[in-house]
A and B are shown apart, each in its own frame.
Chain A
């Protein structure tokens, strides 16, 4: 509750034009916000630009912020909408399209393959060994509707309810998209095992 008091006071000061008060409110949120931007955007420059612009827009629209609520999800929402706007104007190839169903069809066929022994699968072994940056690349390469649920749910570890608030997508859809996103990511990794294997060889080489 004390935090609530402080937040209200900071918000009021920021609305009166005290930019330092707003910066103070933002500061604890920045690392997480930037992390989300980093895994959504193509590179660090785009991530920095996105996160900066999200902060500026948040301040411009501070009147929309419901004082007393958590600032983090609100900032993520602004970041996410900004990211989508930019993506849309740049290209539409990441949008959810009907042919994504085909991709999933492929995934379903793969599941019908013969049962494997219950010891760790090659993919599990790779994932345990590597917290690979390549994984982030694969997330970015997914259609954005699926990439974003992986970023918010799995990378940022937000609750389904928070992700629903951030994306404006119903909770059930968040879960079904997350299911599909994990399947798609899995398929990508299985289709390119040499990438992960190559990474692991490289890191082993580096360690020796």
Chain B
């Protein structure tokens, strides 16, 4: 009688813990019980058969018009997201400075502009990093207001910023008032693919316009390690990029 009661209690436990027992995990006592109790052994086999049959239920094809119907709805949400963002272009520069660049390599882009005319020349030493600070230095002899600076990023580069509204952007534009001397704006960029990337910088002031196409960020060597090391510069060498916009001749 007591043995029967104990058996029944064990049968009940097998049921309580059927998922574990089916996985072959339950308590050793329960597994041993299966050796002697045909009803429980059958139950567990049926449980596994159910599991197998459920996993094998037919794949259901996505309705053919599913994406066609979904895309306009997503576009409507996207438009709302876009409206919530402040327009990042043509604003003053402070937001460009991102803080998450502790170990970023720095690239100084020195623009010596005299009246913003002339041919740019670029000299690239080297840099390999995931996060790269680019200092856009614009040196002018006299104060100038309303100079537009546009920075076009190639596919392999994007803006790195703590501000989700800016993070991942592929182009930046801002307007600065220049004081006599060197005016610096720092932009933090993230390399998202290997290879040589070209930064395209445009400066415009009234009728004056200068464009620079700069080869920077030549990834070499252990490229994959570069992607694994988030926010860590790979090469210790301080890279330097010097651009001279010669001109007032």
Contacts and interface: CB of A to CB of B under 8 A. Distances in A.
B53 A182 contact: no
B41 A112 contact: no
B18 A182 contact: yes
A108 B168 contact: no
B228 A1 contact: yes
Contacts of A100: none
B11 A155 contact: no
Interface in B28-49: 37-43, 45-47, 49
Interface residues of B, number: 60
A83 interface: no
Given A155-B55, A157-B55, A185 B50 contact: yes
A123 interface: yes
Contacts of A135: 53-54, 57
Interface in A19-57: 19-20, 22-23, 26-27, 30-31, 34-35, 38-39, 44, 47-48, 51-52, 55-56
A118 B85 contact: no
Contacts of A132: 53
A127 B53 contact: yes
Interface stretch (A2-10, A71-79, A88-96, A200-208): A2-10
Q: Point out which of A15, A157, A186 has the most chain B C-beta atoms below 10 A from its C-beta.
A: A15
A13 B66 contact: no
A34 to B, nearest CB: 5
Contact of A17 (B16, B19, B79): B79
A99 interface: no
Contact of B192 (A5, A26, A150, A179): A5
Size class of the contact patch on chain A? 35 or more
Nearest to A133: B58
A17 B79 CA distance: 6
A185 B49 CA distance: 12
Nearest to A39: B57
Contacts of A1: 227-228
Contact of A2 (B70, B169, B227): B227
A121 B47 contact: no
A52 B16 CA distance: 37
Contacts of B80: 17, 60
Which label, helix, strand, loop or mixed, suits the secondary structure of the A interface? Answer: helix
Given A8-B168, A118-B42, A131-B53, A178 B8 contact: no
Given A135-B57, A154-B51, A179-B18, A116 B46 contact: no
B77 interface: yes
Contacts of A13: 168
Contact of A60 (B15, B57, B77): B77
A175 B19 CA distance: 6
B66 to A, nearest CB: 6
Nearest to B193: A5
A124 B42 CA distance: 9
A15 B79 contact: no
A114 B77 CA distance: 60
B55 A108 contact: no
A179 B41 CA distance: 15
A8 B168 CA distance: 8
Contacts of B56: 131
A127 B168 contact: no
A175 B23 CA distance: 11
Contacts of A15: 81, 164-165
A53 to B, nearest CB: 9
Interface of A: 1-2, 5-6, 8-9, 11-20, 22-23, 26-27, 30-31, 34-35, 38-39, 44, 47-48, 51-52, 55-56, 59-60, 62-63, 107-108, 111-118, 120-121, 123-124, 127-128, 130-133, 135-136, 139, 150, 153-155, 157, 175-176, 178-180, 182-183, 185-186
10 contacts: A9-B168, A23-B70, A35-B59, A63-B164, A112-B11, A120-B45, A128-B53, A133-B58, A178-B19, A179-B19
Interface of B: 8, 11-12, 15-20, 22, 37-43, 45-47, 49-63, 66-67, 69-71, 73-75, 77-83, 85, 158, 164-165, 167-169, 192, 227-228
